[in-house]
Amino acid sequence: MKILVAVKRVVDYNVKVRVKSDGSDVDIANVKMSMNPFDEIAVEEAIRLQEAGIATEIILVSLGVKACQDILRTGLAMGGDRAILVETDEEIQPLSAAKLLKAVVEKEQPKMVILGKQAIDDDANQTGQMLAALLGWGQATFASKVTVAGEQATVIREIDGGLETIAVKLPVVVTADLRLNEPRYVKLPNIMKAKKKPLDVLTPADLGVNLTKNLVTLKVQEPPVRKAGVKVADVQSLVDKLKNEAKVI
């Protein structure tokens, strides 16, 4: 079967982000960018399904600026077969991302779409669910294990109370959680081979999608600095501070 994997270009998780002086957004000028970590896990899962003889082709897709080709090449070096970039300089909000991915899915006809449960830049955790709703497909979010047999996928999900096992019919949208797998290290020969793999570039207009903005960012600010903790001599002092100073009991 064919698997489509959506990947997003975000500020590298090792970078300490800075807010612009006018509070309008996060400053990404001259900042290292990389593939969203949860999407990297999604790519790895697709590759493992292909190695198990379940997937026949892995198609990577990214939405955004021309520089997104870099993360697509990284995914191709990991083991993807070909890639699609829907190129635009406009802001892509979750619903618009879901509509673009829906158009790509209708064009490519995969049996499974895998993407990270959320992106570490906006932490929206919406695109996968919206995509499944627009397609009318089943969904398996926060996946920590995926098993495919015939026309059915069995997915173990991470929920607040522990783990939940569900069975969903294909086609399906799966969102990857942190414990689904550990992405492989990309070797230099595979990076060189990835440069020759197909990468098609489309635009939202090619897919018939209008990038309507449904959300407005009013202000971006850094979280307040946490106050230093204090040590107490005994339990009675702790109870006194919790009651009279913190007022939590």
CATH code: domain of residue 207 = 3.40.50.620
Q: How many domains in the chain?
A: 1
Residue 17 lies in a domain: yes
Residue 138 lies in a domain: yes
Per-residue confidence (pLDDT) for residue 18, from 0 to 100? 87
Q: What CA–CA distance (Å, rounded) separates 122 from 243?
A: 36
Q: Is the CB of residue 138 less than 8 Å from the CB of residue 169?
A: yes
Q: Judge whether 146 lies within some domain.
A: yes
Tell me which residue range forms the domain holding 185. 2-244
Any domain includes 45: yes
In angstroms, the CA 89 to CA 74 distance is 21
**Residue 186 CB-density burial (10 A; 0-12 exposed, 13-18 middle, 19+ buried):** middle
Q: Is 114 helix (H, G, I), strand (E, B) or coil?
A: strand
Residue 249: inside a domain: no
Q: Tens-digit pLDDT profile for the chain (249 aa)?
A: 999 999 999 999 898 888 888 888 888 888 899 999 999 999 999 999 999 999 999 999 999 999 999 999 999 999 999 999 999 999 999 999 999 999 999 999 999 999 999 999 988 999 999 999 999 999 999 999 999 999 999 999 999 989 999 999 999 999 999 999 999 999 899 999 999 999 999 999 999 999 888 888 888 888 888 888 888 889 999 999 899 888 888
Assigned domain for 42 exists? yes
Q: Quote the pLDDT of residue 143.
A: 95
Q: Which of 206, 217, 203 is nearest to 63 (CA)?
A: 203
Closest CA to 119 of 45, 178, 183, 38: 38
Is 176 part of a structural domain of the chain?
yes
Question: Is residue 113, in this structure, part of any structural domain at all?
Answer: yes
> Nearest 5°: phi and psi at 82?
-155, 170
